[in-house]
Structure 1
Amino acid sequence: MKRYSAVIDIGSNTMRLVIYSHENYSRIQEVENVKIVARLRAYLDDDKRLTGEGQFILLDTLKSFQKVIDTYDIDHSFCAATAAIRQAKNHEEIEEKVKKETGMTMKVLSEEEEAYYGYLAVVNSTSVEEGFTIDIGGGSTEITYFKNRKLVFSHSFPFGSLTLMEFFDADKPSTKQVKRARTYIFDHLEELEWIKEKNIPIIGIGGSARNMVEIDQTFKDYPLAGLHEYEMFDTDIAHISEHLTTLNRKEREKIEGLSKDRADSILPAMQVFYCLYDLTEASSFVLSRKGLRDGLLYEQLTNEGEEHLYENVLDNSLNDLIEEYELSSMQVTYAKEMTRKLFEALVSQGASPYLTSKDWAMVERACMVYNLGSYIDSESSSQHSFYLLANRTIDGLMHVDRLKLALLASFKSKSVFKQFIRPYKNWFLKSERKKLQTLGSIIKLTYALDSTKRRIISDIDITVKKDVVRIRCFCTDDSKPEMYQAEKQKKHLEKALKMPIRISFQNQ
């Protein structure tokens, strides 16, 4: 049964309402995402009080959000405010007004809470074990360091993409202005001893990080869909920063991937990313589409006293796919065990120079979602399987690993494999392409051994001698359909291994 939760995020730059659907606290999906560029920070007066005009914008936007919320049967709702309201000296008065005029309870998050929820979203939606998170808001910047998925340090700086705009002209920045901004940012970042020279990933959260990634994908004519867990490096950040600083605002507004309302604030945000990457000597910059709002939701959906961390992010994602595309969990478990036996025998007996025992994790994932495209159309299931997996966000998988999963889980033949991998050919060495083709044909064969989904093969024995692979299948029932499919499909593995395969079936 679907349940709905609403989260309102009141930031310094934007206000956003997100409504999520979920089933038994899993398969969380966004069903509404409403954004208003309120720029509340601009309505803080010299005494750091939110002006009457700013309060009107806040209340009017919340009332608009409430009308959207009222169209759903909401199970949980949460309204959180960050730096602009936190820094307003009259925030208690504002909280009372919000309660009186909208009925909402607005929680003003502390700096520590804001950093924590961002961290929680990242560790529950990626497989990164150790890293930094950075969330650049309009009026503050939160940085955390986590190790073994546990929060170790966090800090909130009282500057953000809007406050740092004071370093830049409204139109086109100069080299001197960029240098001054970076010096200011470096001076603040260096106060944190725990961020220096870690050589671990930086995970970016929020609109500035998202826009930077969208620009990078546009520059590279990136062929895969999706932003979550997209990876960039220092040269990419430097290239985008240098390009943006050569343009005036009108020119920046025309850049594909950059929101018009961030055409000015992207410049200071880029300098923060640049400085943090340099100071930490990061291994890469990874985008997380999940942030503060998702962290709040994860906490809401956890029973009191329970651990807020998912045990295994990727397994959760794959199990959600199994449910969504109505795959048989019993067949998946059976196919995984059959595949494991064949895979381990081929590796241990040296059947292929391309395979190693470390490849099993990749094969196991593909077994879980193999041929899921048959849910849409059995005749073109391979094409659907590849497209769905390659272009869908899968929490816990970087983009290249998502592509590998798609190639294995959609494997049909060498020619179709070549067709699918063609746009991404330069992503892999020749040996890696050979490996993926071999692994795909292993999965294809083991699924053929259960073509009727009766699980009649109780065990298999594999030997590799004199350049021949012999597979003995021990059956509990008539095996003619499985025998036919196995003989038909073994040719793909024979081509990959460059040796014949002899399959025999015997009843127990």
Structure 2
Amino acid sequence: MLNFVVIDLGSNSVRMKISQIGPYGDFKVVGYQKKFVRLSENMGKEKTLKKEPIERTMRALKEFKATYSKLKNVKIRAVATAAVRQAKNQKYFLNRVKKELGINLRVISGAAEAYLDYLGVVNTLPVKNGLIMDTGGASTELIWVQNGNCEKRISLPTGSVLLSQNYNLTDQIKASDLYKAMTAAELRLSAVPWINNAHNMPLIALGGSNRTIAKIKRREVTDNINDLPDIHGMHLPADNIYALFEKLVSLDKIGRTKIPGLAKIRGDVIVGGLIPISLVLRMLQIDEVIFSNHGIRDGLLYEYLQNKDAENVK
């Protein structure tokens, strides 16, 4: 039995998922941990990782190591995405992680991140045609799926933390700031040459900000946290998302953190996080969203299993 450990270091959070893989490729998830580290906090125009976010991240990674170090027959896949990808002090950070923790943190490209999202979604949801959208803290990945294949993919340097911090959307929101943020995001989205090919197709949403929509909705259904429905595969009309976005914009940071289903740590970045999906729904006239709870971490698992199968064939 192999303990396959996936560490996914994003711009807002770092997650670890542990799956036990059997001799025939069967697997089951046996562990999951998540820490909000906000690594991209205050990166600014100079695009450097700051001291306190780095320290928060190191503490989280040490906690993860304490967990998987107790396991036998461990294989680790550790990846970093947009924040580290964009950081000018990337080398310093990676060397420190390697020196202090022994973790080989691999910085993946935006295209690779998008493809892993694709693997995670199409292996867990019946998606044949549609647009996959992953909104993170510092980037948004878009994948156009046609006949089950990854037809086109792109990563855009815009996400919940960057939009919220760069355009003053963290607390009480001014109309002028919201307009500037939405205009900047729309310019990036509309510049994607193939995006209109996904007109009126299903939109499959993942990433912390997008999943928050589903988490808020399911709390409207029941207050019993032990009986919450799984958000994976949940369908939600676009009008519900527009209404939620309008509500969030009208509240200040404290008001947003009081909404059931919205993690308090996201109160200052959720408005920026929902700008991309709101724009895509309008641009492509999509009337419904399907939520996925599987993305890059699952993609790494399926990639490993596929490569393992290929080796066995040889």
**Fold shared per TM-score above 0.5:** yes
Displacement after TM superposition at 1:74 (Å): 4.1
- Aligned pairs for 1:33-432 (under 5 A) are 33-42=32-41, 44=43, 47-165=46-164, 166-196=166-196, 198-221=199-222, 225-304=229-308, 306=310
Unaligned runs of 5+ in 2: none
Instruction: Output the CA distance in 2 between the equivalents of 1:305 and 1:29.
Output: 18
Instruction: Output the CA distance in 1 between the equivalents of 2:44 and 2:250.
Output: 33
Partner SS for 1:193: coil
Partner SS for 2:124: coil
Displacement after TM superposition at 1:176 (Å): 4.0
| Farther-moved stretch of structure 1 (51-60 vs 94-103) | 51-60
Partner SS for 1:154: strand
Instruction: Output the CA distance in 1 between the equivalents of 2:40 and 2:56.
Output: 12
Contact kept? 2:4, 2:20, Cα under 8 Å:
yes
Instruction: Output the CA distance in 1 between the equivalents of 2:26 and 2:251.
Output: 42
Instruction: Output the CA distance in 1 between the equivalents of 2:148 and 2:34.
Output: 30
Contact kept? 1:126, 1:229, Cα under 8 Å:
yes
Instruction: Output the CA distance in 2 between the equivalents of 1:221 and 1:62.
Output: 34
Instruction: Output the CA distance in 1 between the equivalents of 2:285 and 2:23.
Output: 41
The 4+ residue runs of structure 1 with deviation greater than 6 A are: none
Displacement after TM superposition at 1:26 (Å): 4.8
Superposed CA deviations along residues 61-114 of structure 1, whole A, max 9, x for unmatched, are 222211111122244211100111111122223222222221111100111111
The verdict on how the C-alpha distance between 1:12 and 1:301 changes in structure 2, with shifts beyond 3 A counting, is: same
Instruction: Output the CA distance in 1 between the equivalents of 2:217 and 2:177.
Output: 23
Instruction: Output the CA distance in 2 between the equivalents of 1:50 and 1:230.
Output: 35
Contact kept? 1:45, 1:51, Cα under 8 Å:
no
The verdict on how the C-alpha distance between 1:210 and 1:28 changes in structure 2, with shifts beyond 3 A counting, is: farther
Q: Choose 1 or 2 for highest CA Rg.
A: 1
The verdict on how the C-alpha distance between 1:25 and 1:292 changes in structure 2, with shifts beyond 3 A counting, is: farther
TM-score by length of 1: 0.57
Superposed CA deviations along residues 149-181 of structure 1, whole A, max 9, x for unmatched, are 111111111111001013244322244433332
Displacement after TM superposition at 1:46 (Å): 5.4
Displacement after TM superposition at 1:25 (Å): 5.5
Displacement after TM superposition at 1:226 (Å): 1.0
Partner SS for 2:250: coil
Match of 1:29? 28
Displacement after TM superposition at 1:221 (Å): 4.8
Which residue type is aligned with residue 198 of structure 1? Answer: H
- Determine which structure has greater relative contact order: mean sequence separation of CA pairs < 8 Å that are 6+ residues apart, divided by chain length: 2
Instruction: Output the CA distance in 1 between the equivalents of 2:119 and 2:86.
Output: 24
The verdict on how the C-alpha distance between 1:220 and 1:193 changes in structure 2, with shifts beyond 3 A counting, is: farther
Displacement after TM superposition at 1:302 (Å): 2.3
Superposed CA deviations along residues 195-217 of structure 1, whole A, max 9, x for unmatched, are 22621111111211111111122
Instruction: Output the CA distance in 2 between the equivalents of 1:105 and 1:255.
Output: 38
Which residue type is aligned with residue 172 of structure 1? Answer: Q
Displacement after TM superposition at 1:183 (Å): 2.2
The verdict on how the C-alpha distance between 1:218 and 1:224 changes in structure 2, with shifts beyond 3 A counting, is: closer
Counting matched residue pairs gives 306
| Farther-moved stretch of structure 1 (107-116 vs 275-284) | 275-284
Instruction: Output the CA distance in 2 between the equivalents of 1:298 and 1:170.
Output: 36
Displacement after TM superposition at 1:296 (Å): 0.9
- Aligned pairs for 1:8-19 (under 5 A) are 8-19=7-18
Instruction: Output the CA distance in 1 between the equivalents of 2:263 and 2:139.
Output: 20
Contact kept? 2:18, 2:30, Cα under 8 Å:
yes
Instruction: Output the CA distance in 1 between the equivalents of 2:130 and 2:150.
Output: 10
The verdict on how the C-alpha distance between 1:217 and 1:292 changes in structure 2, with shifts beyond 3 A counting, is: same
Instruction: Output the CA distance in 2 between the equivalents of 1:24 and 1:281.
Output: 46
Displacement after TM superposition at 1:276 (Å): 0.6
Instruction: Output the CA distance in 2 between the equivalents of 1:273 and 1:37.
Output: 22
Instruction: Output the CA distance in 2 between the equivalents of 1:233 and 1:114.
Output: 27
The verdict on how the C-alpha distance between 1:224 and 1:139 changes in structure 2, with shifts beyond 3 A counting, is: closer
The verdict on how the C-alpha distance between 1:253 and 1:114 changes in structure 2, with shifts beyond 3 A counting, is: same
Unaligned runs of 5+ in 1: 308-508
Contact kept? 1:245, 1:267, Cα under 8 Å:
yes
The verdict on how the C-alpha distance between 1:262 and 1:51 changes in structure 2, with shifts beyond 3 A counting, is: closer
Instruction: Output the CA distance in 2 between the equivalents of 1:13 and 1:293.
Output: 15
Which residue type is aligned with residue 266 of structure 1? Answer: I
| Farther-moved stretch of structure 1 (253-262 vs 25-34) | 25-34
Give the RMSD, CA atoms, in angstroms: 2.3
The verdict on how the C-alpha distance between 1:43 and 1:79 changes in structure 2, with shifts beyond 3 A counting, is: farther
